[in-house]
């Protein structure tokens, strides 16, 4: 396993782990790759929808020569405060920062003096720069923006809202997490660990739906365009879970591989050595930061999910030109994603939650709703019968 990039380069080049590269956590790197992969596929599909005439440009007002508003000055000052508050502390406490960057960044630890000075500097610079560039007669002109040109904004919005949603859903994923939240709400909200993927998808969907509607795009066509992109990002993210060993593994599997099994043994049962959670038993002779592996092999479910994500993507990619009813591709994605996750939960270790006397994991409840939503959505669209 590669809890951070220092372990990856150790395996690749033989360098010593736990060096400066350890601030780059493997899961975080794959999370970025997941958003980039999604953005690439989404961009392709948005352009195709534009060529078909389903998505059109919207008009934006572009300002030139206006003085900075107080909101812009405050935003710049806030950004400066964060940099000044955190960076000096990171440099002075690098050994504390190196193993847990997210924990330090999201904590209240920092240098107040440098934060205040940086806030004043950034705020003043914004004010001075806008005054310097101000025109006697400021210009306000209208420009046309195509939907695919908004990919950057949509990706950032999806990333931020998705991470917030994933963190919130992880809190209600088990009774232990709920109790921990009641004891210390701020610590749980700002914790750098524990993300529930479905929470991220749901909150990001709501945020992006609101954004595209506000920008004059027809959400139903955007939903179809984003369906293949979502499953690509999901698959890449699951690879991050596998390579970092973040705990999203399956139940214990000590059985021998069946006769029909043709993949490597680690794809059947794996102990996740050097996992990022440091769970399991110590690895003999290891003196690094991450020196544990599971006592017994488990199903490497992230690999299975990455594979089935690829299968779902290929299905969606093949069907995207065949469906003539807007929204049908999106609801097919919802259905297939729900089916995949519902069955993979049968060999995963997520805790059960009791709802109306029924015990199931949070992901099973959500995936069940997704399956139902996918079926109802496709049936409704089919009988409504409005082709694009």
Q: pLDDT per position in the chain (388 positions), as tens?
A: 899 999 999 999 999 999 989 999 999 899 899 999 999 999 999 999 999 999 999 988 888 888 889 999 999 999 999 999 999 999 998 888 888 887 788 778 899 999 999 999 999 999 999 988 888 888 888 889 999 999 999 989 988 888 888 777 777 666 666 666 666 665 555 554 555 677 788 888 899 999 999 998 999 999 999 999 999 999 999 999 999 998 889 999 999 999 999 999 999 999 999 999 999 999 999 999 999 999 999 999 999 999 999 999 999 999 999 998 999 999 999 999 999 999 998 898 777 676 777 777 777 888 999 999 999 999 999 888 766 5
Residues 252 and 129 reside in one and the same domain: no
85 and 202 in a single domain? The answer is no
* Pair 43, 160 in one domain: yes
Closest CA to 340 of 362, 380, 360, 310: 310
Q: Are 154 and 119 in contact (CB under 8 A)?
A: no
329 in the same domain as 259: yes
User: Considering the domain boundaries, does residue 85 fall inside one?
Assistant: yes
Residue 63: inside a domain, yes or no?
Answer: no
pTM for the model stands at: 0.84
In a domain, 62, yes or no: no
- C-alpha 57/C-alpha 51 separation (Å) is 11
In this prediction, residue 175 carries a pLDDT of 64
Range of the domain at 102: 70-141
Is 79 in the same domain as 174? no
Kindly state whether residue 117 falls inside one of the protein's structural domains.
Answer: yes
Final residue belonging to a domain, choices 141, 166, 184? 141
Does residue 20 sit in the same domain as residue 118? no
Would you state the pLDDT for residue 301? Answer: 96
284 three-class SS: coil
- The Cα 269–Cα 257 span in angstroms is 8
The answer to whether residues 196 and 171 touch, using CB atoms and an 8 Å cutoff, is no
In whole angstroms, what is the distance from residue 213 CA to residue 219 CA?
6
Three-state DSSP at 123 gives helix
What's the confidence (pLDDT) of residue 1? 86
CA-to-CA dists, residue 55 to 151, 222, 261, 264, angstroms? 14, 8, 47, 46
In a shared domain, residues 16 and 137: no
197 plus 276 within the same structural domain: yes
Q: Are 301 and 348 in contact (CB under 8 A)?
A: yes
User: Does 53 lie in the same domain as 108?
Assistant: no
Q: Judge if 167 and 316 occupy the same domain.
A: yes
32 domain-assigned: yes
Q: Give how many domains the chain has, as a whole number.
A: 2
Among 7, 5, 26, which Cα is nearest to 283's? 7
User: Would 64 be classed as within a structural domain?
Assistant: no
Q: Same domain for 212 and 325?
A: yes
How high is the pLDDT of residue 194? 53
My answer on whether 32 and 115 are in the same domain is no
**Cβ count within 10 A of residue 354:** 9
How far apart CA 221 and CA 213 sit, in angstroms, is 11
Secondary structure class of 257 (helix, strand, coil): coil
**Cα(107)–Cα(185) distance, rounded to whole angstroms?**
13
Contacts of 259 (CB under 8 A, 6+ apart): none
Last residue of a domain, one of 94, 121, 141: 141
Q: Which of 141, 156, 172 marks a domain boundary?
A: 141
């Amino acid at each position: 396993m590669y809890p951070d990039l220092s372990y990856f380069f150790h395996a690749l080049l033989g360098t010593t782990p736990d060096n400066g590269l350890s601030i780059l956590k493997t899961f975080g790197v794959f999370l970025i790759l997941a958003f980039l992969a999604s953005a690439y596929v989404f961009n392709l599909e948005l352009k195709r929808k534009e060529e078909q005439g389903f998505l059109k440009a919207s008009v934006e007002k572009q300002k030139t020569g206006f003085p900075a508003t107080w909101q812009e000055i405050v935003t710049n000052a806030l950004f400066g405060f964060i940099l000044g508050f955190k960076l000096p502390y990171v440099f002075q406490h690098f050994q504390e920062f190196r193993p847990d960057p997210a924990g330090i960044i999201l904590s209240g630890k920092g240098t107040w003096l440098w934060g205040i000075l940086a806030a004043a500097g950034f705020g003043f610079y914004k004010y001075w720069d806008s005054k310097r560039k101000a025109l006697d007669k400021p210009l306000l002109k209208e420009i046309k923006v195509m939907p695919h040109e908004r990919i950057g904004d949509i990706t950032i919005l999806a990333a931020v809202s998705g991470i917030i949603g994933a963190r919130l859903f992880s809190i209600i994923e088990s009774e232990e997490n709920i109790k921990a939240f009641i004891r210390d709400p701020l610590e749980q909200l700002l914790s750098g660990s524990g993300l529930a993927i479905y929470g991220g998808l749901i909150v990001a969907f709501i945020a992006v739906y609101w954004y595209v509607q506000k920008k004059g795009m027809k959400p139903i066509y955007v939903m179809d365009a984003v369906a293949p992109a979502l499953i690509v990002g999901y698959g890449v993210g699951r690879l991050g879970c596998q390579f970092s060993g973040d705990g999203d593994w399956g139940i214990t599997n000590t059985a021998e591989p069946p006769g029909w099994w043709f993949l490597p043994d680690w794809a059947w049962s794996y102990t996740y050595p050097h996992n990022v959670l440091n769970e399991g038993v110590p690895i003999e002779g290891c003196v690094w930061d991450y020196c544990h592996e599971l006592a017994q092999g488990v199903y490497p479910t992230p690999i299975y999910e990455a594979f089935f994500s690829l299968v779902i993507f290929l299905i969606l990619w093949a069907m995207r030109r065949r469906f003539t009813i807007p929204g049908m591709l999106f609801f097919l994605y919802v259905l297939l994603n729900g089916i995949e996750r519902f069955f993979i939960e049968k060999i995963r270790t997520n805790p059960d939650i009791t709802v109306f006397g029924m015990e199931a994991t949070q992901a099973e409840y959500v995936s069940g709703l997704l399956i139902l939503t996918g079926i109802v959505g496709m049936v409704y669209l089919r009988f409504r019968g409005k082709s694009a």
